[in-house]
Structure 1
Amino acid sequence: MKIGCPKEIKPQEFRVGMTPHAAHEAVAAGHEVLVEAGAGVGAGFSDADYAAVGARIADTAEEVFAASEMIVKVKEPQAEERKRLREGQLLFTYLHLAPDPEQTRDLLASGVTAIAYETVTDDRGGLPLLAPMSEVAGRLAPQVGAWTLQKANGGRGVLLGGVPGVAPARVVVIGGGVVGTHAARIAAGMGAEVTVLDRSLPRLRYLDDTFAGAFRTRYASAGDTAELVAEADLVIGAVLIPGAAAPKLVTRAQLSTMKPGAAIVDVAIDQGGCFETSHATTHQDPIYEVDGVMHYCVANMPGAVARTSTIALGNATMPFLMALANKGWRQACADDRHLLAGLNTHAGQLTYAAVGAALNLPVADAAKIVAERRAA
């Protein structure tokens, strides 16, 4: 198979879809790999690193898209990239379609077969291709939250861990999944007073048992959430419904109860955000203020630590990438129901129910599409 890896063009996105190690695996298996010049530089990989393992370096993105049967990326294709996609081509990347009707329309119009990292599943009910970036974003959230709280950035001027004789910051983490667990762990490690909210009692018990009281847990009732948000110096939104738009868990009215200069970090912003006042920002201009509360809503947080993120993502995607290249997407999806769960569009049809529900679009049965094509 001809596999193409273009350079990411989303603002301040420094990750790359394939590491040299992934390119090496693909070339060794008999596939052709085409990498756009400079694609890996932001993550610390030179063109020479790719050439040394047998990949070919392309001068332009146009060449990569035109020559490749499968496009491997990190972020959702931007408008100019979507114009280069075509029916019969395979796209393997993060998509986050539920809050993005424009991208969804363009992908359906192109006819491309798109498999989204964030909806591929595993036997434990997890999201193995989202997990590494969730881990990175979760660990980054207290770090960027602490920066946002600094007075020069509009924050309250509160040090997350306090000092002897001065109380630490109060941090509330909404969601006890992968992002929330890592955020709570790091915030507690920085000395903050941390409370994690979740609606799953088994998850709360797990967090209590595993972290032995390093942070508090509370059931995420509307009342408890409102009370804790009002008291917080920093609130981290870490809620995920796979493939669907994030629920709005903190309203603007609740925001007005927060302390002046308090901060929120919305890690769910890729799926539309879990605060009513959230909108996506970039690393270049990451924060804004609403009603005296500072918002950090960067939609590609892991891009700030591009080398760590690229390697972590590459480790997770490589087995699926190789299955798609070795077998073709139909056979690979037929053999692996978890990879099939990643199928979001095919030949002008939407194939992921949560996206259809969010955007009020009809949804085709992915399993039937795979079965029909194989039978033909």
Structure 2
Amino acid sequence: MRIGVPKEIKNHEYRVGLTPASVRELTARGHTVRVQAGAGEAAGLGDGQYQAAGAQIVPDAAEVFAACDLLVKVKEPQPSEQALLRAGQILFTYLHLAADPALAAALQQAGTIGIAYETVTGPGGELPLLAPMSEVAGRLAVQAGAFYLQKSQGGMGVLLGGVPGVAPAQVVILGAGTVGTQAAQMAAGLGALVTVLDTRVDRLRQLDLVWGNRVHTLFSHAQNIEEAVLGADLVIGSVLVPGARAPRLVSRALVARMKKGAVLVDVAIDQGGCFETSRPTTHAEPTFLVDGVLHYCVANMPGAVARTATQALNHATLRHVLALADQGWQQAMRDDPHLRQGLQVARGHITHAAVAHALGLDCVPAHAVLA
């Protein structure tokens, strides 16, 4: 199969779809891999490394899109890239269509086979292609929150871990999944007072067993959310519903009552965000103020640590890339029901129920498309 790796063009996105090590695995199986010049440079992966692994370096994205059957990316195609997609072409990347009806329509119109990392499942129902970036984003959320709590950055001027005789910051984390767990680990390690809210008592119990009284847990309902958020210096939103829009847990009215100079980090912004006041931002302009509360809503947080993030992502995606290349998308999905959960758009149809519901569209199930 002909596989293409374009250079990411989203604002300050430095990750790349395949590493040279992944390219080597593909070329060893007889596949042709074309990599856009400079695609991995920002992640410390030069064109020479790709050539040594057997890739062909091509000058621009147009050639990658035109010449390849399978495109392996990191972020959703931007408008200029959408115009290059064609019918029957396989796109394997993060899509987050529930929050992007325009992209969903573009993929339907192009007839592209859109397979999303974020809804590929694992044997236990986990999301193994989302997990590595969730780990990165959870840890980065605390770093970003600590940075923007500084007065010079617009925050209230609080040190996350405090000092002897001065109380540490109050950190509230909404969601005890991968992002929330990693954020709790980082925040507790820095000495903050950490509270994690979730509706899954089993997850709260696991956190309690691991962290004891270093992390406090609360069942997530409106009253507990309100009380926790009003006392918080830093709130991290990390609630995920696979394929669907993130639930909005913090209203505009509640934000208005928060401490002035508090910081909100919305890791769920790719799926629409879990604060009513959230809107996507970029690494170039990462924050904005609403009612004196600083919002950090960067939609591609792991792009800031591209070298770490690219390697972690490839470790998770490579086996699926190999399956798609070796077998073609239809046979690969017939053989692997977990990969089939990643299929969101095919032959002009939305094929994932949660995405279709979020967009208000009809769903043609993946098994029907494959039949």
Tell me the TM-score normalised to structure 2 length: 0.99
Deviation (angstroms), 1:369: 1.5
Distance 1:146 1:203 in 2: 25
Structure 1 match to 2:199:
199
Amino acid at match of 2:117: Y
Q: 2:305 corresponds to which letter in structure 1? A: V
Deviation at 1:214, TM superposition (A): 2.2
| Misfit runs of 4+, over 3 Å | none
The residue identity in structure 2 corresponding to 1:302 is P
Letter paired with 1:181: T
Q: Please name the residue that 1:13 is paired with.
A: 13
1:213 deviates by 2.8
Identity of aligned residues (%): 59
Q: Structure 2: any 5+ residue segments left out of the alignment?
A: none
CA distance in structure 2 between the partners assigned to 1:95 and 1:263 by the alignment:
27
1:324-363 per-residue CA deviation (whole Å, 9 max, x = no partner) reads 0011000000000000000000111110111111111111
Deviation per CA, 1:162-215: give whole Å up to 9, x if none: 001100000000000000000010000011000000001111111111223321
Matched residue type, 1:367: H
Corresponding residue number in structure 1 for 2:175? 175
In 1, Cα distance between equivalents of 2:97 and 2:88 = 20
Pair 1:40-2:60 in alignment? no
**Structure 2 Cα separation of the partners of residues 175 and 143 of structure 1:** 18
Alpha-carbon distance in 1 for matches of 2:67, 2:211: 50
Q: Counterpart amino acid of 2:333?
A: C
Q: Distance in 1 between matches of 2:304 and 2:289?
A: 22
Structure 2 distance, partners of 1:251, 1:350, is 30
Which letter does structure 1 place at the counterpart of 2:352? Y
Aligned mates of 2:209, 2:332 — CA distance in 1: 39
- Tell me which residue corresponds to 1:240: 240
- CA shift for structure 1 position 225: 0.4
Deviation (angstroms), 1:257: 1.4
Say whether residues 1:69 and 2:76 are aligned partners. no
Letter in 2 for 1:98: A
- In the other structure, the counterpart of 2:215 is 215
Q: Secondary structure at the match of 1:264?
A: strand
Q: Which amino acid aligns with 1:40?
A: G
1:315 is matched with which residue?
Answer: 315
| TM-score, normalised by the number of residues in structure 1 | 0.98
Measured against aligned partners, the alpha-carbon deviations of 1:81-121 in whole angstroms (never above 9, x if no partner) come to 01111111100000000010100100000000010000000
Is 1:185 aligned with 2:175? no
Alignment of 1:26-105 (within 5 A): 26-105=26-105
One-letter code aligned to 2:95: L
Q: For residues 152 and 210 of structure 1, what CA distance do their matches in structure 2 show?
A: 35
Letter of the aligned partner of 1:77 in structure 2?
P
3-state SS of 1:98 partner: helix
Aligned pair count reads: 371
- Cα distance per residue 1:203-260 (max 9 Å; x no partner): 1111111223321100111101000100000000010000100010000101111111
Tell me, yes or no, if structure 1 residue 132 matches structure 2 residue 140.
no
